[in-house]
Structure 1
Amino acid sequence: MSLDTALQRLLHHYRSMPPVATMDLSIGGYDGQRLRLHAPLSRHVNDKGCAFGGSLASMMTLASWGLISLRLELAGIDADVYVADSQIRYLAPLYADIDVDAELAADADWDAFLATLRERGRARTGLVARVRLPEGGVATYFTARYVAIVRG
């Protein structure tokens, strides 16, 4: 499967979930290591005029889930992906559109994750996601463990 096809399938999957469809998210890019999601502030603004914390948490959860799902699809593995646990640090308010980058955690390895999944039918790995401030720096930082379970 081509990368473009896999990205279109991922976007379609996001939009097929009613709560996610209302977020108006789009895929901002994928460089082989990081998946970027984008959403307009206007859909996520809180009473203070900045991005709603729940939206930031959702976007980081979705970006991390999407990165694993994309990597599995490109590897030809049919599996369900679940978030096992996560932690979020809100560092600064965001008064701009939401751009989230998700990537594998520094101590994790794609090859080991995929090999374990193929061998045992189940594997877990760590991910990191960040919401960047337009002027530089990080508004929100997310760490999580995700589990993949082969279907069938």
Structure 2
Amino acid sequence: MDNARTIALTLKQEPPMQDTRAMLESHLDTIPMVKAMQVAIGDIEPTRLQLTAPLSVNLNDKGCAFGGSLVSLMTLAGWALVTARLHDAGFAETEVFVADSEVKYKAPLWDDLIAEVVAAEGESLEDFVAAFAQKGKARITVEARVPLPDGGVATSMRARYAAFAKR
């Protein structure tokens, strides 16, 4: 096999998820609010990511989950999914920002927070990474939710993220 083909195949191979987890943890550890919320990384899959936080440090005055914590956890989950996919594609030097978001608070949450995020319907993480590879910048819309223990939804968010190559 020639060197060019070997390099191309190497770039397409996904790094082990523990590398992705370690990279995300190192970024999240630098954010004071993340420490205060006691955010932890849950499941990481190629098309889905989960962040968790205990209710005990994310309470409002009513004893249920604080709305600011809910939206913060979903926003961080979206950032983490986009950042992880770029990292896995070999783009370690990127800046990812939330461009805009819409949040819906549907029901109080009286349990630990679990934010789940995926690409929005009609969006593709693969197309997003391909656009980034071609242009050095890209946008993607994601959908996040914090489920209730009974299977309902406490909070949902639709957000657009922008990624740029670091200069």
Relative to the length of structure 2, the TM-score reads: 0.88
CA apart distance, 1:21 = 1.2
| Residue 124 (structure 2) pairs with residue 109 (structure 1) | yes
Q: Aligned-residue CA RMSD in angstroms?
A: 0.9
CA apart distance, 1:31 = 2.4
Q: Distance in 2 between matches of 1:49 and 1:12?
A: 31
Alignment of 1:69-80 (within 5 A): 69-77=83-91, 78-80=93-95
Alignment of 1:32-111 (within 5 A): 32-77=46-91, 78-111=93-126
What does residue 152 of structure 2 align with?
137
CA apart distance, 1:11 = 1.5
What does residue 165 of structure 2 align with?
150
What does residue 6 of structure 2 align with?
none
| Residue 31 (structure 2) pairs with residue 10 (structure 1) | no
CA apart distance, 1:113 = 1.0
Q: Which amino acid aligns with 1:40?
A: P
CA contact (8 A) 2:37 2:58 kept: yes
Secondary structure of the structure 1 residue equivalent to 2:81? helix
Secondary structure of the structure 1 residue equivalent to 2:37? coil
Q: Percent identity at matched positions?
A: 43
Q: Distance in 1 between matches of 2:131 and 2:23?
A: 25
Aligned length: 152
Q: Distance in 2 between matches of 1:73 and 1:66?
A: 10
What does residue 21 of structure 1 align with?
35
